[in-house]
Structure 1
Amino acid sequence: MIHILLSRWRQGYRTLPYPKALPALPERFRGRPEIHPERCPEGCRVCADACATEAITFGAAGPRIDLGRCLFCPDCAEACPEGAIEYTQEHRLATRTREDLNLDSADEYRLAAVLDGEMKRLFGRSLKLRVVSAGGCNGCEVDVNVLGTLGWDLGRFGIQYVASPRHADGLLICGPVTRNMELAVRKTYDAVPHPKMVIAVGACAIAGGPYFRQEEQLGGVASVLPVDLFIPGCPPHPLTILDGLLRLLGRLEAEGRVGA
């Protein structure tokens, strides 16, 4: 036993200091894209043609990216001859509405707002979530589960995953919601006591992801249930997921970081 205690003492404090300090992100990390419409050649659409999920459209202000559809692959940036689209290391991506996931150069990106009144009072310090895998590739589920490890320690924020929807305050759903999972998702939602919330994690859960053309899926959680928080990515980084959850609960400012 003494050897175990000594080993633990030598290891020191292993939990990341976030949100008081950001963890180092690798150079290859692709966060929120940045659009430079002044670089776009007139009539050029190569970035939109390169996008596998039709996330890029064009308007009067130039390219517009639907981050709900975006897989954060580099195809659009690599296809553009002038570098009009660049990926930054901005990890903050979660929004409260589907419309806020539309990114262009003209509008300021609106990050997730805090829960309203009674919902914040009830869940601001203790939130229990039932994770539902609704037909995805398991990539988002892996990063959701990572938050429960020692390094991230989601429980220190009062957030926990639970085994039963009857013990939950809401659902955290990954995957595009396949037709075979529709009834299960609805029944799981009905089993959660009121008031409750729904969180859509990943491109599949938001808009069908790479499966959006397939008839076997329903195009995301919002086609079945009302969604309170959208966390884009394929998959979203654990830091992106945690940032969205803490913004929803109004915890970031209290923990030392002021939201954008």
Structure 2
Amino acid sequence: MTRRRQVYEGKAKVLFEGPEPGTLVQYFKDDATAFNNKKKGTITGKGVLNNRISEYLMTRLGEVGIPTHFVRRLNMREQLIKEVEIIPLEVVVRNVAAGSLATRLGVAEGTMLPRSIVEFYYKNDELGDPLVSEEHITCFGWANPQEIDELMHLALRINDFLSGLFLGIGIRLVDFKLEFGRWWQNDEMRIILADEISPDSARLWDLKTNEKMDKDRFRRDLGNVAEAYQEVARRLGILPEGGPRDIKGPDTMQ
């Protein structure tokens, strides 16, 4: 097979040149990181599970009119996506106090918020992805006011849909991170959802027990990380038959 050109490698994914102009292949790794890459590890089968979970959620969002970069899943660890210009912001939607919000404001973890909060963080690992305001975003040209409004609108629509979807399978969507990109088609630009939605990028708690079913199990050394991801996939009805069989990276990256 012809070796594909690698375009980008992040902490959890690798992007390769796609088979058609304007496309990329997104490969999901088993690598796990936390605290801005200070804690590192491997969760066997995580890439397989996140590929399937993100495929399912992106597809469902597309069905209700949310534009996404997802085209189709190629195999257990790869999916075909539209090539976009990533907006250098992490858009975080919070429904329950947890993580940095609880620490920063001294709010007890697990406190239900009176309304959903949307926060923006500048994507820069060296700076620790700092929290930024709309003033910062427009001042430094990361997005204009109209784009910020669109990011807010899309983030809240996604939150409404996913909160209901997870509620239906006994999971509380505590908070989650989104990334968006500018996609050009016929000289027209559109902001669409990019990256992934998975237990890597969302806090998911069991509705009855508040058991954590996401990457916090890795961050906090709670154990059974892979099992938690598998349970999310099982409840969504998409756990690969026979479990998340591992596919060695080099076989799919050629």
TM-score scaled by length of structure 2: 0.27
Of Structure 1 and Structure 2, which has the larger fraction of its residues in strand?
2
> Which one has the largest radius of gyration?
1
